[in-house]
Structure 1
Amino acid sequence: MILVLIGYMGSGKSLIGNTLAEKIGYDYLDLDAYIEEQEKKTIKDIFQDHGEIYFRKKETIYLKEVLANFENTVLALGGGTPCFAGNLEFIQQKSNATTVYLQTSLDELTQRLYAEKEKRPLIAHLESHEALKDFIRKHLFERSFYYSQSTHKVNTDQKHPEEISKEIQAALF
């Protein structure tokens, strides 16, 4: 089985993905890291050199590759991955894949992301909490249609990765 973690940036996909994979004896794979490895460029450089359309096409190719060739893996998607190119529908059609939405409130995301915005090119230019909150609000509105179609939903607000991992395990096994 492949457990596909979906959620907005800052929802904890990487941290929880690693924790969960360790707990259940699965491998862990971050799709963005896989893309960087395959393309031999950072996501930031791919966007700068080729643009978002190129990135989204490659993202779909690599997502399909991972779903076809990996087993017993916790896969963390990029925040926008399920929203483009029919990616979510493709995941849902795979009998060996199940989706888990790491649902995080607007306030929690704003708090988490503001502290690390310099590390995130998409939001590094936002100078205030309110500007960041508005940016996240807009994206959540656009993406909620896709995120809410996940098989399982787990709220991550004010929870430790261990607790979230246990909730996901309880829902799946």
Structure 2
Amino acid sequence: MSEESKSVIVLLGYMGSGKTTVGQELASVLSYVHIDLDDYIESSENSTIAEIIDQKGIIYFRKQEMTHLEMLLKRSEKTVLSLGGGTPCYYDNMNLVNKCSNAASIYLRANVPFLTDRLFIEKEHRPLIRSIDDKEELAEFIGKHLLERSIFYDMADFTVSIEGKTPQQLAQEIRTLV
């Protein structure tokens, strides 16, 4: 797969795996535009994801996610697209990504202890885990989620382990793959 043949590089993985940070770095390295799907939806809806879910429900949000994903995959402008952690797991989103001939998907994989350490210190900013006060309980929650989501994450074209790597190193590694 050559860099020229893929106009959209899709980053996916669990929350805290660095999809946005790595996406920004990769876009800079490749001279692509970076779009974070959650930010894009918030801008389109003029509300935060939490507000959208509170006011219109999770089903409405997931439908918006799918609609915007489908539209963004059709972009002719070279784009690095960072998905929300749950995006690949709903509707037919991963098949949508995989059927897109101009897209390459990268799973930013991290293990449970790594994610637990990273997310525990920033959980106040993560509505899904905000109420979890115990690190062991958080690890159990992440492990269960990863198990449920792995079937979708593993559908990515490439998998990159993120532990012990800087965003710059990850961007360079991904650059060699796409």
Normalising by the smaller structure, the TM-score range is: over 0.9
2:41 aligned to which of 32, 35, 43 = 35
Matching residue of 2:114 = 108
Secondary structure at the counterpart of residue 41 of structure 1: coil
Residue equivalent to 1:52: 58
1:99 corresponds to 2:105: yes
| Cα distance, 1:148 vs structure 2 | 0.7
Spell out the pairing of 1:128-167 with structure 2 (5 A cutoff).
128-167=134-173
TM-score (norm 2): 0.95
Deviation at 1:5, TM superposition (A): 0.1
Moved over 2 A (4+): none
3-state SS of paired residue (1:144): helix
8 Å CA contact 2:106, 2:160 repeated in 1: yes
Structure 1: distance between partners of 2:63 and 2:33:
25
Q: Does 1:21 find its partner at 2:27?
A: yes
Q: Distance in 1 between matches of 2:125 and 2:93?
A: 26
Distance of aligned partners of 1:171 and 1:69 in 2 relative to their CA distance in 1, 3 Å threshold: closer
TM-score by length of 1: 0.97
In the other structure, the counterpart of 1:67 is 73
Q: Following the alignment from structure 1 to structure 2, what is the Cα–Cα distance between the partners of residues 115 and 121?
A: 13
Q: Which amino acid aligns with 1:139?
A: H
Structure 1 Cα separation of the partners of residues 75 and 52 of structure 2: 24
Q: Out of 79, 89, 96, which is 2:95 matched to?
A: 89
The code of the aligned residue for 1:155 comes to S
- Structure 2 counterpart of 1:140, one-letter code: L
User: For residue 3 of structure 2, what is the aligned residue in structure 1?
Assistant: none
SS of the aligned residue for 1:10 comes to coil
For residue 146 of structure 1, what is the amino acid of its counterpart?
F
Q: What residue in structure 2 maps to residue 7 of structure 1?
A: 13
User: What is the percent sequence identity of the aligned residues?
Assistant: 44
Deviation at 1:69, TM superposition (A): 3.0
Q: Is the 2:66–2:91 Cα contact (8 Å) retained in structure 1?
A: yes
Unaligned runs of 5+ in 2: 1-6
CA contact (8 A) 2:8 2:75 kept: no
Which SS does the other structure have where 1:28 is aligned? strand
Displacement of 1:70 in angstroms is 4.6
Aligned-residue CA RMSD in angstroms? 0.8
Match of 2:130 among 87, 102, 124: 124
Cα displacement (A) at 1:50: 1.3
- Give the distance between the partners of 2:75 and 2:9, measured in 1 at CA: 14
Q: Following the alignment from structure 1 to structure 2, what is the Cα–Cα distance between the partners of residues 46 and 110?
A: 27
